Structure 1
Amino acid sequence: MFWEIIPSSPITKLITKILDDMVRLSTVNGIIYLLDNPQSHETLKVILSRLGHLILDPVLSIRSAVVDLLLLIMGIHSFQFHMVVHLDVLLSTLANDQPLVAQKITKLLLPSYFPTNVTSEEACNRCVTLIKRSPLAGARFCEFCLSEGASPQSLNLLFKILINLVLSPANISSDQIDGILMAAANICNNLATKPKYKTALKKVLTSKKLM
């Protein structure tokens, strides 16, 4: 509330002390609160990386709060969330964490790996890139991307691409094939609840392809 009347040096020392020594969940929630004040952004941008390790905290509520923080700074122009938590760590967490955290990370990564402001073909290509880079994370991403706003039409196209890709596995490792099949299965589970897309899925999975 009184940010502008406190010199930057003591503010930085105080926040650094809080980040290093205070209760973990309260610290994350406090930083989220501070970000409401645009005057805090320049200082926080430099020191927020000190919170990155909390994405691996054994307590679910803390990991969830860290992703909430990343979602918040994603919408702030001067911040880059991967400077707080490295992308490889995010992908590992996406692949292995509880659904609450995995779904939030999917929301975080959706603009990069299945954006709505590009063509369906480009969105699918980006998602395939994700699956090839981290098969388990990519499969988990496909589990939640519909609920986080991905287009059903685009996901239907992605399903076709994934099925064709696994049937022509040139330069694809066995781990990648597993990830592609799990991703396709997750898309199928989501789209099959809609009669229109259930019919479309059946057309893709011909007897020849299933054999």
Structure 2
Amino acid sequence: MNMQNGTISNWNDEKGFGFILPKSGAKTIFAHIKDYSREHKPPIKGLEVSYLISTDPKGRTCAVEICPVNGHKKIGRGFRQKALSLILLSTFAIILFYLYSSSVIPLSIVGIYAFMSIITFAMYAKDKNAAEWGQWRTQENTLHILALVGGWPGASIAQSFLRHKSKKLSFRVTYWITVIINCGVLIWLVSPEGRFWFNNVMKNINFG
């Protein structure tokens, strides 16, 4: 098969697919994010690409091995986002460790953050895979609730390193609101009133 050249005529970043207009002027060809180069930034409308013509499992014509013709490498913004995410999480981890070592918060709170972060990261990974393969997606509200109850560090890692839900502005705004609320609750929990309330709750929990 020979490589073809064309231009991204439209692209749905949220759903992970779009269409390529061949340079030859032929009919547009379906393109999916799973067949796009992972060494480059996500495709955008007007981007010139090279590709091979293939068929999907249902026999429909589609483009595979899609790669930008010039530039469009993953640099700059992606690196900065990863660096900021690592700085934020490192700072938060140090604060949690200090609060625990100073007996301000119990180990259970640290465990909640760790457990919820793992669950949240896994849900982001599952949703990204579903988006790439056209499967059933996880609702955004579910991801926000997980972040709100302590999974936001895992969400931050997923957004930065999986490059999932990292560009949709409305989602990002809501995500940061959940971070602020969660941190606000943590600040309250380290206050005398919050610690008293939390200790009473833990005492009343029946572990059977």
TM-score normalised by the chain length of structure 2:
0.24
Q: Which structure has the highest strand share of the two?
A: 2
TM-score norm. by structure 1 comes to: 0.24
